[in-house]
Every structure is written in C-alpha cells, then in structure tokens.
Amino acid sequence: MSSNRSRRGGGQGKGGGRRFENNRIYAYPLPLIIPTPEERPSSLYKALGIFKGLTAEVLNPHCEGTFDVATRSIWVINSRDIQILWRRGFFGKGDLSRSEPSWHARQMNIRKLAGKRMTSEEIREKRRQERKQFKLDRAKALADAAAEADAAFREGREAALPAIPSGATWKPQPSIPDAIPETLPLDEAEDQDASVLEDVEPLEDVEHLQLTIQEAFFLSWGLDCLTILEPSTNEPMSLQSIWSSFQQVHYTIPPDPTHGARFDNPFLVHYVAYHYFRSLGWVVKGGIKFCVDYLLYKRGPVFHHAEFAVVVLPVYEDPADQQSSPFSLSGATPFSWSWLSTINRVNSQVQKTLVLAYVTIPARSRVSTDLLSSPACLAHYSVREVVLRRFVPARMRD
C-alpha cells in the first residue's frame, strides 16, 4: 500500500524545468492578496499584544465579467482580469484554449515560426505527433520483420530481423526541410525577426476567459472580487439579481410562480459541492473529460495533475420532493454497478482517486422555501464523501 500511496501522493508532478518560475507566477492561491508586513513584531511586542502599524490590508483586484445566459457562463474580456483570475486560483477557462487562456501566445509563436517557450497546448500537440510517429515506425518495423522472417524461411537461411522500436529507446527524428536556409549571425537573425513582426499587422487578442456560474458566484459572493454585468444594459448586477439569475438559467421554461424556488436547483446542488471543496483549499476544475463533475488539484494544473475526481450525487431528504421536481438531476437516481465500474476504471487509468460527493437536499417540509431568496439557504445543505479505490492485487500487496 505504501508504494501505491507514494505513486499517487499529491498527483503526478509537472513542469520540472519551470517549477521556480511557476512558483513565482502562481504564488497567490486566491485573487485577494493579504500583504505580509515588512517588519514582524518582536517577542516582547507579541507578549504585550502591541501590533501597531502592522495591520494588513486586503488587496482586492475588482475584476469584471459579463453574464451570458446562452452558455450559462460569465465572460471576462479584460486581459488584466483574465491574468489575475487564472494566475490566482486558476479560475475559468480560455474559450480558444484547452485550459489556460494562451491563444494569443500560441499565435505569436506561430508568427515567430519557432517560439522559445511553448504553451501547454503546443506541448500536447507535439507529444501527440510523436506518439503517432512512434506507432507508425513500430508498425513498419514489425511488418518488415515479418516479411524478412517469411523470406528467410522460404530460402532456408537465418533471418536478419530489424530492430523493433521501443518506447524507452525511440526518439523522434527531426524533420529536414527541402531547402536549408543560410545560417545568419544571432544579432542579424533577431533583427530580421523583429523586422518581420513589425511588417505584420498587430494581432488582436480575441480570447476571453469563461467562468462557470459556480466559479462566478464564489468570486462574487464568497470573495467579493468579481463584478458581474448585465448583458443587455452592461450595468453591474446586484447580489440578489445574480442569485436569482443563476437559478433561472436551469429552467427550460419560466418557473411556475405557484411552486416557487426549489432546493434541488442544479446551480445550488453543484455550488454547494464547489464551495465545499474550495473552502478546504482545493483548486476545483471541471471534469467532463474524465466523465466526472469536478477535478481537485492541490495547487493547480501547472504544478500537478488532479489527484481526485469528484462525482456529485444529489440525495433528497424527502423523496416526495424528487417526485415533484421539474429538474432531472444527474446521479439522483440509484446508479448501476456497471456505471460505477466504468467511471472508476477510467479515472484509475489516469491515476485519479474517485470521490462520490453526496449532497443532501433539505426537505421543503422542514425548511421554509423563503430562505431560497438568499445564500442563507446553503447552510441547510450537507456534503458527505465516499472515496473509492480500484483494488489491484499486483500493486497493493505490499
């Protein structure tokens, strides 16, 4: 068990060569910053309780985003706000990128023909091409070996089998251009690159950061560092308007006023789980790639791979509320063992531990629905985790 724990501990590390730079760029876990006092009180001052002049003031970046009803998300356009929200807590996703909003940097690298610092998407694409080339080289070597063995058998001689590429020894062959340009001195090459870039029309950054409504409400209500704008008027939305609008987006038709708000609104159920894990210090990202609701990172995607994959399972305190619900919550009905085995196997293959997060929905007969008019209702939800590990006898015997 110890070997398995060490293999999983903290998630698989990433970015060894850039670790120091990442520690500097992503030094703050949240957009809010509490500066460290330059001078700390001495032991005598501590004993007397004197901390004059050492009160830390919270620095609030006050970012802005626009509510988009069609995508159920908030769009952050300002480049300053995008960098702050991504680098301080890894909030949101670039709409033209895999995760980090790096579309502009990728396009600039393409213009320069060879960027010295590759983005995460470029590194991923390069590795995919290398794996594809390795499979082609290996298949060709196996076919040549089979043909040589067959020919040697017919001629009655010993086969001279070619070497079969292996994943440990195979290295990608650099591509050779048709015409090798004349090598220029370093200073002349840099001047040439600069002149080429000056002639090209400036590249506009058209990418925006896309926040889920759970992330946006956490930033707006929990941290008070995000202002959400109404799309039609471009005016700041009040907290009450944000609270009601985020619940309305999950109705396919306008809700019946006679039924009122409901505790099983998908926004509330998933926000409870999101806020729960965020409040415990985890970086929470979407997990649709691995068939789950959330992925949990210890520090962030640039430091480690996600260690835990979370599936949110709503549990009705009163089964009658489920019968009258206009929502079809995923996971509210009993799941099959084949579904559980599938999800667990998918995440075990990528070294993630599956967590079932049971969110208990309060009964309408016990808790007044008037509380749904404000975030005060969140105190009546509860979250319980069940951790699943796939038993592998060969790995866990020790």
pLDDT, block means (10 residues), the chain with 398 residues: 44 69 91 70 51 64 95 95 96 91 81 62 79 87 85 81 74 58 47 50 84 97 96 94 92 56 93 97 94 95 94 95 89 89 91 95 92 94 91 69
Residue reference for tokens 């990418």:
207
Helix (H, G, I), strand (E, B) or coil at 171: coil
Q: Is residue 90 a contact partner of residue 285, using CB atoms and an 8 Å limit?
A: yes
E strands in 111-262: 209-212, 226-229
pLDDT at 117: 62
E strands in 80-180: 93-94
Rounded Cα gap, residues 280 and 283, in angstroms: 9
pLDDT at 260: 60
In the beta sheet, which residues pair with residue 211? 74
E strands in 146-267: 209-212, 226-229
pTM of the model: 0.75
Domains of the chain: 2-14+61-101+207-396 (3.40.1350.10)
pLDDT at 259: 52
| Structure tokens, 89 | 């807590």
- Report the first-to-last Cα separation within the chain, whole angstroms: 5
Nearest to 211 by CA among 387, 93, 384: 93
